[in-house]
A and B are shown apart, each in its own frame.
Chain A
Amino acid sequence: MVPFAYAAAPSADAAIAHVARRRGAEFIAGGTDMLQLLQEGVRVPAELVDINRLPLDGIEVDTDAVRIGATARMSDVADHPRIRAEYPAVAEALLLSASPQVRNMASIGGNLLQRTRCVYFRDVVTPCNKRAPGSGCSALDGENRLHAILGASPHCIATYAGDLAVALVVLDANVVINGPEGARTLPVEALHRVPGDAPEVETVLEPGDLITAVLIPASAHARRSHYLKVRDRASFEFALVSAAVALDIDAAVIRQARVAVGGVGTKPWRLPAVEHALVGHRVDDELFHAAAARAADGAEPRRHNAFKVELLKRTVERALRTVGSRS
């Protein structure tokens, strides 16, 4: 690790003012991704501002919504009885993420901002436009079995690796952001950017912007939601393909549908064509098959990841069947 200076934040306002003002200053929360990137020399902050001791770890559930503080730990959110009952896709996505040790450390805000697992991004000796803008993309014609088939650009084909954000997108969740100019809310769906010609800019956050909470509205489709993750090994692995599905079903007719997928896109990837094919129709396996057939619309596979096209459709179909058969 290169030398850096560290301070525990005395208040959110002080932390935000400091990070906004000082070039090279970054927030650190659970640190599980940051420490890996520091060890590998991928991130070289001049200063780290620790927000772990700020009172941002509450989980407040009421009848209309849940508010999850940004430093709540993944394990505590996953185990919360009302989140399991009323927002099952969130609990499932978290329990399928990382390892128990990492879930005990990692924060909810930091989870949303985790960096890609692209091996070239994490290997400082190879060209990578995300890590070193303008140096080139080693994955385009390199080992790209794990890379994106949706939302890629000629500059970057790295996936967004997280699970939680995919689940939050189908639950219409927002992030609360405190910044130098005050607080605002933003749909989780609008937090991440596609790479385009600036893959190093991964989110819409500005310097000093701090995610302080995640808000999820209660809804019928949140109650009937599910997260399915398909991966190379049974546990402690990132997704090859994942699907978050939330359906509002009334008298066997789908009133609302939300479908988003992970492991295949450069950001959490919502599938409006699949949703459109579901709404207004009766729950039926043939409907799910026909809707899931649209899941890979627009996919652009590379040399090693074409298998994800079929796997994506099947994963979406299986997630839909699971939710459709839940009473």
Chain B
Amino acid sequence: MSVTRLTPQREFDIVLIVNGAARRLTVDARTTLLDALRDRLHLAGTKKGCDLGHCGACTVLVQGRRINACLTLAVAHQGEPITTIEGLADGADGLHALQAAFIEHDGFQCGYCTPGQIVSAVGLIAEGRAGSDDEIREHMSGNLCRCGAYPNILAAIRQAAREAA
């Protein structure tokens, strides 16, 4: 049986589509999507918390679905549309509805988890999983807040989900 041979490489010239713009960069095979966004493209809104997929601070949307940017390699996402916290704002006042709701409900204390919370909530609402408080709590379980701002995070998401409905 003859099959195409693979030639694994350690370095790649790639194009990432981030917040609608094609960004060209050279990455080591090991570079996580999170490190590519933060350290190479200087989009530091996406946070690095645990770097092991446990905290959700690094949540971004890839092809519209929320994922942990720390648990995936940048080289694996060439050509796929990626949305970070910096790319969410679409409103006339310069804020996404969830960003405005987090401010209105004081959905944070230190703010470190907030970009991940907001991007994750965008994914949650798109999934149709924001139907009740219990459902929001369950399906936001991938985002931890060490300040314990959960009641206000919940209130912000509840309001944004109602507005989106």
> Which residues of chain A have a CB within 8 Å of any CB of chain B?
1, 3-11, 13-15, 17-18, 25, 28, 31-32, 35-36, 38-40, 47-50, 52, 75, 98-102, 104-105, 234-236
B140 and chain A: residue at smallest CB distance: A100
By the criterion CB–CB under 8 Å, are B76 and A35 in contact? no
Interface string of B119-155 (1 = CB under 8 A from A): 0100110010100000001111110000000000000
Contacts of A235 in B (CB 8 A): 137-138, 141
CA distance A15 to B12 in the complex (A): 19
Q: Distance (Å) between the CB of A13 and the closest chain B CB?
A: 4
Chain A CB within 8 A of B81 CB: no
In the complex, chain B residues 65-98 whose Cβ is within 8 Å of any chain A Cβ: 65-68, 70-73, 75-76
CA distance A84 to B128 in the complex (A): 16
Contacts of B142 in A (CB 8 A): 98-102, 236
By the criterion CB–CB under 8 Å, are B71 and A31 in contact? yes
By the criterion CB–CB under 8 Å, are A101 and B8 in contact? no
Indicate whether A52 sits within 8 Å of B8 (C-beta atoms), given known contacts A1-B30, A35-B71: no
By the criterion CB–CB under 8 Å, are B5 and A6 in contact? no
CA distance A1 to B31 in the complex (A): 9
Indicate whether A101 sits within 8 Å of B30 (C-beta atoms), given known contacts A10-B6, A50-B76: no
A180 and chain B: residue at smallest CB distance: B1
CA distance A4 to B11 in the complex (A): 10
Q: Out of A14, A28, A48, A99, name the residue touching B141 (CB < 8 Å).
A: A99
Q: Out of B30, B68, B140, name the residue touching A32 (CB < 8 Å).
A: B68
Q: Distance (Å) between the CB of B144 and the closest chain A CB?
A: 9
Q: Distance (Å) between the CB of B140 and the closest chain A CB?
A: 8
Contacts of B107 in A (CB 8 A): none
Please tell me the size bucket of the interface on B: 35 or more
Listed stretches B16-24, B37-45, B52-60, B157-165; interface member: B52-60
By the criterion CB–CB under 8 Å, are B71 and A7 in contact? no
By the criterion CB–CB under 8 Å, are B8 and A47 in contact? yes
Indicate whether A13 sits within 8 Å of B6 (C-beta atoms), given known contacts A3-B28, A36-B71, A39-B51: no
CA distance A152 to B5 in the complex (A): 41
Q: Distance (Å) between the CB of A33 and the closest chain B CB?
A: 9
B144 and chain A: residue at smallest CB distance: A236
Contacts of B103 in A (CB 8 A): none
By the criterion CB–CB under 8 Å, are B53 and A32 in contact? yes
Contacts of A38 in B (CB 8 A): 30
CA distance A17 to B3 in the complex (A): 8
Q: Distance (Å) between the CB of A24 and the closest chain B CB?
A: 11
Contacts of B53 in A (CB 8 A): 32, 35-36, 99, 101-102
Query: Which residue among B6, B10, B71, B127 has the maximum number of chain A CB atoms within 10 Å of its CB?
Result: B6
B119 and chain A: residue at smallest CB distance: A101
Contacts of A48 in B (CB 8 A): 8, 29, 73
B129 and chain A: residue at smallest CB distance: A100
Q: Out of A6, A32, A236, name the residue touching B8 (CB < 8 Å).
A: A6
Q: Out of B5, B6, B29, B56, name the residue touching A101 (CB < 8 Å).
A: B56
By the criterion CB–CB under 8 Å, are A6 and B68 in contact? no
Q: Out of A3, A9, A31, A98, name the residue touching B10 (CB < 8 Å).
A: A3
CA distance A247 to B51 in the complex (A): 42
By the criterion CB–CB under 8 Å, are B30 and A104 in contact? no
CA distance A28 to B32 in the complex (A): 14
CA distance A105 to B7 in the complex (A): 25
By the criterion CB–CB under 8 Å, are B30 and A7 in contact? no
Contacts of A6 in B (CB 8 A): 8-10, 12, 29, 73, 75
- List the 8 closest A-B pairs by CB distance, nearest first: A99-B142, A5-B8, A235-B141, A6-B29, A7-B8, A236-B141, A7-B6, A14-B3
B9 and chain A: residue at smallest CB distance: A5
By the criterion CB–CB under 8 Å, are B7 and A14 in contact? no
Contacts of A52 in B (CB 8 A): 76
Sampled A-B contacts (6; CB under 8 Å):
A6-B8, A6-B10, A18-B6, A31-B72, A105-B72, A234-B141
A13 and chain B: residue at smallest CB distance: B3
Contacts of B56 in A (CB 8 A): 99, 101
Q: Distance (Å) between the CB of A69 and the closest chain B CB?
A: 17
Query: Which residue among A7, A11, A98, A234 has the maximum number of chain B CB atoms within 10 Å of its CB?
Result: A7
